[in-house]
């Protein structure tokens, strides 16, 4: 199927390329889905707790970096508390109008920007960021072979392609999401692992917090996610994923695999995120670094 695009390439085009959903005129995330970052009662106490941990570490000025910071709501809430902490937002989207001038803002791909920021003491937050990172996906055929999901270049719809052969992808599936049942689908989390390694790499000491739609290996093994999780979002609704930039593409995050991508972490805590009652698939990951 030589003309078909890889899912990752087509998805990247809808994230940072010519068809970028977020950079397009229609790409204000809050038009399409509600995140709980602005209203959550739990997030500020947790960030304060993590900042207190970072405060006990040696290093430069205490800093909070919000990766994929959207409208800057979390940083604005922190700024309102009168904190002396340096506050930095990174997003594909431009600096939101009216954002507190004390908040620094970097417009760019966080996976690249993070490589240019080193030696941070503080807290790195990624709230509903990792699920946006393009990844490969497979569907198992009737003979039990995982086949790559590809994208038709004209309709930009997903199609099932050739058997997966990439040894690193096969090893990831084997370790994190064994694909054993015909017609099950699975997303391959290597790109999310790499993104987490990049953004936690900014930290010299302190803590990193990811909150996202996610799952863990026991759930995956048990079949809870056999249908896969890749969907499109548009104006508050789940829509058929079409990689043309008309909808936001998202897939749940294999949060335990992401955690292992930060080998410098001294402690790791994975929980359900309690501010989302009824959302059993909303998870948090906290890792500390010294």
Ligand X SMILES: C[S@@+](CC[C@H](N)C(=O)[O-])C[C@H]1O[C@@H](n2cnc3c(N)ncnc32)[C@H](O)[C@@H]1O
Interacting residues of 196 by C-beta distance below 8 A, sequence separation 6+: 126, 130, 208, 210, 258, 259, 261, 262
Residue 37 touching ligand X (CB under 6 A): yes
Residue 91 touching ligand X (CB under 6 A): yes
- Nearest distance in Å: CB 174, ligand X: 27
Choice between 57 and 239, CB closer to ligand X? 239
Please classify residue 47 by burial: count the beta carbons closer than 10 Å to its beta carbon, then call 0-12 exposed, 13-18 middle and 19+ buried. Answer: buried
Q: Is residue 72 classed as helix, strand or coil in its secondary structure?
A: coil
Interacting residues of 135 by C-beta distance below 8 A, sequence separation 6+: 7, 8, 11, 187, 188, 189, 190, 191, 192, 251
**Which x/- pattern over 211-230 shows residues binding ligand X (rule: CB under 6 A)?**
--------------------
**Which x/- pattern over 60-89 shows residues binding ligand X (rule: CB under 6 A)?**
--------xxx--x----------------
Residue 110 touching ligand X (CB under 6 A): yes
Residue 35 touching ligand X (CB under 6 A): yes
Residue 127 touching ligand X (CB under 6 A): yes
- Nearest distance in Å: CB 259, ligand X: 19
- Nearest distance in Å: CB 92, ligand X: 4
Q: 194: which 2 tokens?
A: 């790499």
Choice between 159 and 231, CB closer to ligand X? 231
- Is there a contact between 87 and 104 (Cβ–Cβ < 8 Å)? yes
User: What's the length of the chain?
Assistant: 290
Site residues, ligand X (CB under 6 A):
15, 22, 29, 35, 37, 68-70, 73, 90-93, 109-111, 127-129, 132
């Amino acid at each position: 199927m030589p003309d078909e695009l890889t899912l990752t390439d087509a998805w990247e085009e809808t994230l940072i390329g010519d068809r970028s959903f977020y950079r397009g005129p229609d790409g204000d995330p809050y038009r399409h889905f509600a995140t709980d970052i602005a209203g959550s009662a739990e997030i500020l106490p947790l960030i304060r707790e993590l900042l207190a941990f970072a405060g006990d570490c040696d290093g430069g000025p205490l800093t909070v970096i919000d990766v994929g910071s959207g409208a800057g709501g979390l940083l604005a809430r922190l700024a309102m508390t009168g904190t002396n902490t340096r506050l930095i937002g990174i997003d594909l989207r431009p600096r939101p109008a009216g954002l507190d001038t004390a908040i620094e803002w970097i417009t760019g791909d966080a996976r690249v920007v993070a490589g240019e920021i080193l030696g941070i003491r503080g807290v790195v937050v990624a709230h509903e960021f990792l699920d946006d990172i393009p990844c490969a996906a497979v569907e198992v055929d009737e003979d039990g072979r995982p086949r790559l999901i590809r994208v038709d270049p004209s309709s930009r719809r997903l199609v099932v392609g050739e058997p997966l052969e990439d040894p690193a992808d096969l090893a990831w599936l084997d370790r994190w999401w064994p694909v054993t049942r015909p017609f099950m689908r699975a997303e391959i989390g290597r790109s999310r692992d790499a993104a987490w390694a990049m953004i936690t790499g900014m930290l010299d000491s302190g803590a990193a917090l990811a909150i996202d739609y996610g799952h863990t290996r026991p759930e995956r093994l048990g079949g809870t996610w056999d249908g896969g999780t890749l969907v499109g979002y548009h104006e508050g609704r789940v829509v058929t994923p079409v990689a043309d930039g008309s909808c936001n593409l998202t897939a749940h995050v294999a949060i335990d695999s992401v955690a292992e991508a930060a080998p410098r972490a001294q402690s790791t805590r994975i929980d359900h995120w309690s501010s989302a009652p009824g959302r059993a698939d909303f998870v948090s990951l906290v890792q500390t670094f010294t």
